[in-house]
Structure 1
Amino acid sequence: MRNNIVDNLRGLCMLGVIGIHVGSLALAPNSFALYCWLEILSRYSVPAFFFISGYGLCCTDKGLLTGKPLNYIEFMKKRLQGAGLPYVAWSFFYLFYFWCTLPPGYISWNPLHVAYVLFFGLGCYHLYFMVILLWFYASYPLWRALLRFMLRHSLPLCLGALFIFQLAMNWWTTHTGITTDGWSLLAKNFFDHRLNYLPLHYLLIFMGGGLAAVYWEKFLALLKKHAGIVLAFYAASIVYIVGSAWYSFRYEGYSLLELAYTYHQLSPQGLVYTIGSLLAFFLGLHWLEARSSTGWTSYLQHALDTLSAYSMLIYFVHPLLLEWMTSFYTKFGIVMTVKKVVFSYFFLVITALIASILLTQFFKRVPFIKLLFTGKSK
């Protein structure tokens, strides 16, 4: 059964992802507020997609609560078609595009190099997400067993332990203090690209999606009952991450770029902000759905429905449009200002949506291409 609230979270996530990628344009105006909006307050988006994935897997897992064994082969066949095929197809698309547009030598078609690119999600800067998602799928039996363990024991205690683990795991992997000098090339690559394939960085959020699938009605009722606390926690999480970034920018001499490398979704501030955002978004989406029959809320709901419906293709295609946009700015010497960056953001959202709609119509005419680039045969 479809859950419109969870489905529409995809649209909000997509707005966040585009914000992160447009953030590079905000370096020129050197506006803390603008950069913070695009590069820091949009950081909820990547973890939230894993929440959605955890919710979707547990919703469709009919044997989850009964303990019935998972048909792993069939499970992986379905996931490799739905996520693996599009990942490989879009990776080759971007490799081919960069091979055509970059100077010779930047792109190699050596089979080992291509395998390296695909394994670590290096075809384009946004594709690493698909690699982590595929690893979540491949290791799902572990998380399925963990979820059943949590359901049988003290859930608050398990969540607290998982939260502490997540803080520790994320802190260690982003502040290792380890040098890879003298390591073998294979070991160096696995270490250097650890953020591109390890699903453990998003385990708490993924498991949260699974728990939401099991306890959806209770989860929603709890949010509504404690709406004031939820909104206060969300506001506090914003103050925490923005305040931390502002202090570093104002008093510790951090550049805007250094802020993005410090206060990302894996930082303690980013984890708390992600949790606060998810809780507040679900509360807001429930409120919107209950009031979407008339007035301005109906238009907002329709816009969000549309954005969510095309979110997958928007995710895959928007970096290409952003590349064209930035190339246009460079060619004509257009210097970014706050207004131009804001315009670029909304322009990219709209053009990516239009491109996704056109691609959807094209795919209907060519089913094989549709299967390759969306993972859907119908």
Structure 2
Amino acid sequence: MRNAIVDNIRALCMLGVIGIHTGSLALTPNDFTLYCLLEILSRYSVPAFFFISGYGLCCTDKTLLSGGALPYADFMKKRLRGAGLPYLSWSLLYMLYFWLILPPGFVSWQPLHVAFVLFFGLGCYHLYFMVILLWFYASYPLWRVLLRGIVKHGAAAGLALLLLFQLAFNWWTTHPDVAPSQWSPLAKNFFVYRLNYLPLHYLLIFMGGSLAAVYWDKFLAWLRAYPLPVLALYLASVVYDAGSAYYAFRYQGYTLIDLANTYHQLSHQGLLYTIASLLYFCLLLDWLERRVQSGSAPKAAVCLQRIIELLAANSMLIYFIHPLLLDWLTSFYNKFGIVMTAKKVCLSYVLLVAGSLLASLLLQKIFQRSKILSLLFTGKR
């Protein structure tokens, strides 16, 4: 059974992902507020996709709580078709694109190099998410057992322990204090690209989505009973995350790029902000949906709901295609000597969202005429 609220979170995630990638344009005007909005406060988006994935897996797992075995081969076959095949196709497409536009030597088609790129999600900067997602799928039997244990012994205690683990693990992996220069090339690559494949960085959020699936009615009732505390938590997390970044920028000499590399989704500020954002977004989308369904919503709210649903329905293709459009847009700016200002960055964001949506709709038209292309690039026939 589909959940409109969880489905519509995809739209907010997509807007956040595009915000992160548009943030590079905000370096030229050196505008902290704009950069913080795009590069820091949009960082909820990547973890939130894992919340959605955890929710979706548990909703379709019919024997999860009954103790039945998982038909792992069929499970992985379905996930490799739905996520693995599109990841492979889009990765090769981006490799081909960069091979065509970059000077010789930047892209190699040697089998070992291609395998290296695919394993670590290096075909384009946004594709690492799919690698982590595939690792979550591959290790799902472990998380299935963990979820049963949490349900048995109490969700609150389980989430609290997971939060402590997540804070400690993320801190250790982002501040390892290790010099891998003398390691073997294989070990060094696994260390350098550890953020590209380890699902443990997002375990709390993934398990949060899984528990939301198990306790959805109670979860929604809790949100509706405590809207003000949820709003207060969200605002406090915004102040904490953005405030930490501002202090570092204003008083500690951090550059804007330093901020993005410090106050990301794996920092403790970013993790707490992600949790608060998910609670607030679920509350907000539930409120909007109820207003629209009751017929009491103004036209603006109805229009907003339709836009969110449209973005959510096209989120997968928007995710895959928007870096290509951003590269074209950036090349256009460079060719004509257009210097970025805060207003131009905002306009670029709007153009990228609209252009990615239109490209997604066009691709869907094409895929409707070709089942093979649809299977390769969306995982659907």
Q: TM-score by structure 1 length? A: 0.99
Counterpart Cα distance in 2 of 1:4 and 1:171:
34
How is 1:28-39 mapped onto 2 (pairs within 5 angstroms)? 28-39=28-39
How is 1:220-369 mapped onto 2 (pairs within 5 angstroms)? 220-292=220-292, 293=295, 294=297, 295-369=299-373
Q: The residue matched to 2:181 in structure 1 has which SS?
A: coil
Q: The residue matched to 1:181 in structure 2 has which SS?
A: helix
**1:371 matched to 2:375:** yes
Question: What fraction of aligned residue pairs are identical, expressed as a percent?
Answer: 68
Match of 1:144 in 2: 144
After the TM superposition, which parts of structure 1 deviate over 6 Å for at least 4 consecutive aligned residues? none
Residue 106 of structure 1, CA deviation: 0.4
Match of 1:24 in 2: 24
Residue 291 of structure 1, CA deviation: 1.2
Q: The residue matched to 2:182 in structure 1 has which SS?
A: coil
Residue 154 of structure 1, CA deviation: 2.7
Residue 152 of structure 1, CA deviation: 0.5
Match of 2:94 in 1: 94
Residue 156 of structure 1, CA deviation: 1.6
Residue 267 of structure 1, CA deviation: 0.1
Provide the aligned C-alpha RMSD in A. 0.5
Q: How many residues of Structure 1 are paired with residues of Structure 2 in the alignment?
A: 377
Counterpart Cα distance in 1 of 2:217 and 2:159:
19
**1:49 matched to 2:42:** no
Counterpart Cα distance in 2 of 1:151 and 1:363:
41
Q: The residue matched to 1:239 in structure 2 has which SS?
A: helix
Q: Which amino acid aligns with 1:287?
A: W
Counterpart Cα distance in 2 of 1:337 and 1:58:
45
Match of 1:61 in 2: 61
Residue 155 of structure 1, CA deviation: 2.1
Q: Which amino acid aligns with 1:239?
A: V
Residue 24 of structure 1, CA deviation: 0.2
Spell out, residue by residue over 1:235-267, the C-alpha distance to the aligned partner (whole angstroms, 9 max, x if none). 000010011001000000100110000000000
Q: Which amino acid aligns with 1:77?
A: K
Match of 2:6 in 1: 6
Spell out, residue by residue over 1:264-321, the C-alpha distance to the aligned partner (whole angstroms, 9 max, x if none). 0000000000000000000000000011244211100000000000000000000000
Counterpart Cα distance in 2 of 1:158 and 1:350:
41
Q: Which is further off, 38-47 or 146-155?
A: 146-155
Residue 158 of structure 1, CA deviation: 1.4
Q: The residue matched to 1:291 in structure 2 has which SS?
A: helix
Residue 172 of structure 1, CA deviation: 0.5
Return 5+ residue gaps in structure 1 as ranges: none
Counterpart Cα distance in 2 of 1:138 and 1:341:
39
Counterpart Cα distance in 2 of 1:191 and 1:203:
19
Spell out, residue by residue over 1:199-246, the C-alpha distance to the aligned partner (whole angstroms, 9 max, x if none). 000000000000000000100000110111100000000010011001
Q: Which amino acid aligns with 1:203?
A: L
